[in-house]
Amino acid sequence: MSAESVCFSSLFNINHIICNIESDSRDLAIMEILRKLAYEHGVGNVSHVFDAVLAREEEMSTIIGPGIAIPHARVDSVNELVVGVATSQKGVQWPDGSVVKLLFLLIVPKENPGIYLQAVSALASVCGEPDAAEKIAAFTTPEEVWRYFERGGMVLPDYICAGDIMSEVEVSLSENDTLERAIDLFVKHYYLSLPVVDNAGELVGVVSAQEFLRVVLPDYILWMDDLTPIINFEPFAEILRRESMTWLAEIMTTDIATVQIESPAVQVAKEMTRLRTEIVFVLEGKILKGVITLRRFMDKVLRE
């Protein structure tokens, strides 16, 4: 922990905590916490902030662990992160049927894109405990709740790293796969780039739909004004005849945008810009750990 590290418990105090909240539905619970924050701290127009929180909920559920939710919104009316905490022994009903017993309401300054992600990263250790929500919901006073986080020593990371914003790699190719399998995955999963890994899980290359088209359509075709000789997709027919015999090594590229899992998230933007790509692969050493698309990067940094 650096000398300037911020403890999560310093972001709120006992006056920002509601033990065993009365409201038993998501919307009512959020409004109850908001009203308390408005009285104790000030958050601007409560109705406006409430609408912003619900709008974010409609985009994506903020349940991040067993019985734990982090509803939040970015607004112009605060200049620092405002945190409200609520517990519920009986549980707050979320629209999808989930039961939440520990809520963190985060009101995030719009001009500070990293602070929410830093706070969530600090909470990761709590969210990873399967009984954390039950344990904290059993406390009967705000002092007990606050002390739990104070004793836990959770700190906000000094910066957001690639590991904080990456998603898991859902589909990958083996270096022993053929073009046939790559095409099948392109069509089935709508991916435009697929990582190729070896038996140890190390990233060895990437097969992209764009690179596939370059293989099918040699450069000379791009200069042809008269496409009559290939009007019936003759180059594609040739590829299809040998797709099961074309190894990925023949078409994959090793010119890949990568960052290490602990690299600052801004490094992701740098690599996307430098290599003019919309996808960056996240490594731990040489092992593939995750992927960050331009869309995910923008959502996490600029909207979430």
Mean pLDDT by 10 residues, the chain (304 residues): 73 96 96 95 93 93 90 92 96 95 94 85 78 94 95 84 93 87 82 90 89 68 73 62 71 90 95 92 97 91 75
Give the pLDDT of residue 182.
Answer: 84
What is the dotted CATH code of the domain comprising 6-158?
3.40.930.10
Distances (CA, A) of 225 to 204, 212, 213, 229, 234: 37, 22, 18, 11, 16
Residue 165 CB burial class (10 angstroms; 0-12, 13-18, ≥19) = buried
The question of whether 72 is a catalytic residue gets the answer yes
Marked catalytic residue, from 16, 48, 72, 189: 72
Q: Tokens at residue 172, please? A: 């990958």
Q: How far apart are CA 227 and CA 233, in angstroms?
A: 10
pLDDT of residue 3: 47
The hierarchical CATH code for the domain 173-303 is 3.10.580.10
The predicted structure's pLDDT at residue 1: 46
Q: Is residue 57 within 8 Å of 25, Cβ to Cβ?
A: no
Domain ranges across the chain: 6-158, 173-303
Rounded distance, CA 28 to CA 22, Å?
A: 9
pTM of the model: 0.71
Q: What was the pLDDT predicted at 239?
A: 65
* Backbone torsions φ then ψ of 255, nearest 5 degrees: -85, 85
Which residues neighbour 196 within 8 Å (Cβ) at sequence distance 6 or greater?
Answer: 172, 173, 174, 175, 177, 203, 204, 205, 206, 207, 248, 252
Query: Which residues does 194 contact at the CB level (< 8 Å), separation at least 6?
Result: 171, 172, 173, 182, 185, 186, 206, 207, 208
Q: How far apart are CA 8 and CA 166, in angstroms?
A: 22
- The pLDDT value given to residue 108: 93
Nearest of 40, 28, 20, 163 to residue 107 by alpha carbon: 40
Q: Are strands 82-93 and 203-208 parallel, antiparallel or unpaired?
A: unpaired
Q: What is the pLDDT of residue 218?
A: 62
Q: What does the CA dihedral 10, 11, 13, 18 come to, rounded to 10 degrees?
A: -140
Burial (0-12, 13-18, 19+ Cβ within 10 Å), 2: exposed
In this structure, are residues 95 and 53 in contact, taking their beta carbons and an 8 Å threshold?
Answer: no
